[in-house]
Chains A and B, each alone.
Chain A
Amino acid sequence: MARCKQYEESLWEAAETGELSSELTAHIAACPECRKSWQALQAGMIGFQALRRLPDHVPAVHLSPVSAFPWRRAAAFATVILLGLLAIRGFMGPRPSSHTPPGITGVPSNTRERTPVAGPVQPRKGIDLPDVPAPRITAKRASHHRQHRVHRIHRSGNPRPEAPPAVVATASPVPVIDNLKPLSALPVYNLTVLAEAPHETGEMP
C-alpha cells in the first residue's frame, strides 16, 4: 500500500504525458487498485481535453464609460465627504436664525435667549449682510417665530430655557388706518344720471 502511495504522483505524470515507464507498467499489472486509478486518470485526461475546448459562443465584452466608472469607490468617497460635512456642522452648534424679526433687535438670534439686548442689528464679523429692510412681522408671527426657535434649541441638545425671553416688540400688530370715515359721510351718487349721461367730456364723478 505504501508503494501505491509512492506511485500516485508518477501515475499523474504518466497520465499527463501519456508515457508509462516499465516499472509503472509492471506495478499496474500487479496492483488492481493502481490499475483502476490509472484507468480513471486516463479517462480524466480525456475529459480535461473536452473541457479545454473553447466555447463556441463567447459573450462580447462591453466596456462603456458608465460601466468603467468606479461607482463603488465614488459612493464611498461621497459618503466620507458627507459624513465629514455633517461632523463639521455638528461641531459648529445650532444654526443661527436667517433673519431678525423687527422689534427683536440688536442680538444675534442664537444668543438672544440668554442676553436680550435692545439696539441696532450688528452684522457678525466676516459676514456682509445685505442692506435690505427686514420684512414686517406682526406680533403674532413674532411669537410663533420665537416658539419655533426655542423648540429647535431644545432638540439640538441645549437645555430648554426656564421661561421664554421677553420680547421687546415695537412693531404694531396690525396696520391701523386713523383717518377712516363713517359710511354715512361718503358722498352719494345718482347712478341713473350717471348711466344716462354719456362720458363725452371725459369727466368721471
Chain B
Amino acid sequence: MITTSEQWEQQLIARAQAGDTHAFDILVSNYAPQIYRLALRMLGDAEEAEEALQETMIRAFRSLRKFRGNAAFGTWLYAIASKRCLTRRQRRRRQPEIVAFDDLCEMHGSMNDPGELVIQREHGLSVQRALGALSPPTRLLMVLRYVEGLSHEEIAQVLGCTVAACRVRLCRARADFRTLLMRELDDGEM
C-alpha cells in the first residue's frame, strides 16, 4: 500500500512516541539539514550550530509525547530550535557577533555561470552581516521568513503569537534589515 509522505511521517511519529528510536532517527534525518541551517544562520558559528542541533533533537525526543499534532512536525522542531538558538545567543550576549562565511565561501558547482556564483556569494555575505547586526528575535523572524521560507501562519506557530502580531513584527524587522543591508552594500562599494 502506497502512503503519502504525510501519512508516512505520522506513522513514524506514532512509532517514535511509542518509544521506537529508529523511527525517531528517520524523522530527525529528514529535518536535521533545515534545523542546522537555521542554527547556523542564527548563531553564525558551525560548532555552536552543531550543539544547538543536538540539543534540539534531544529536547524533541524527550518531549515527543507532548506533541499532539496541532502543528506540523517540522514547525514543532523549528519552535524548539528557535528557543535553543535564542537561549544560546542570550548566554553569549557579551561576546562579539561571529558571522559564518565558511559555507558561503565553499559554494561551488551548483551553478554553471561563475559570475552569477560570485554575485550570489557576495550578496550572501552582505545579507549574513546585516542579519548578524540585528537583534536575535528580529534575526529569527527574518531567517524563518526569508531563509527557511515559512509562511506567516507557520512563523506565528513557531513563535507562539498571533498571525497579526507576526505580520507587525515582520514589518518592523524588514525596515531594520533594509537599513542595515543598504549600509552593508554602501560599505562594500566603497
- What is the CA–CA distance of A177 and B28 in the complex, to the nearest angstrom? 84
Query: Among the listed B32, B53, B185, which residue makes an inter-chain contact with A43, where contact means beta carbons less than 8 Å apart?
Result: B185
Q: How many residues of B contact A (CB 8 A)?
A: 45
Return the chain A residue nearest B183 by Cβ: A40
Residues of A with C-beta under 8 A to B178:
37, 40-41, 44
- What is the CA–CA distance of A70 and B126 in the complex, to the nearest angstrom? 40
Q: A37-B178, A40-B182 are known contacts. Are A46 and B41 too (CB-CB below 8 A)?
A: no
Q: Does A50 contact B (CB under 8 A)?
A: yes
Q: Does A59 contact B (CB under 8 A)?
A: yes
Query: Among the listed B32, B128, B175, which residue makes an inter-chain contact with A51, where contact means beta carbons less than 8 Å apart?
Result: B128
Q: Mark B21-55, 1 if CB is under 8 A from A, else 0.
A: 10011001100111011001100000000100110
Q: Which A residues are closer than 8 A to B by beta carbons?
A: 8-9, 12, 36-37, 39-41, 43-44, 46-56, 58-59, 61-63, 67-68, 70
Q: Which B residues are closer than 8 A to A by beta carbons?
A: 21, 24-25, 28-29, 32-34, 36-37, 40-41, 50, 53-54, 57-58, 61-62, 103-104, 106-107, 110, 119-121, 123-128, 130, 146-147, 149, 171, 174-175, 177-178, 181-182, 185
8 contacts between A and B (CB under 8 A): A37-B182, A40-B178, A40-B182, A41-B178, A44-B181, A50-B107, A54-B33, A61-B54
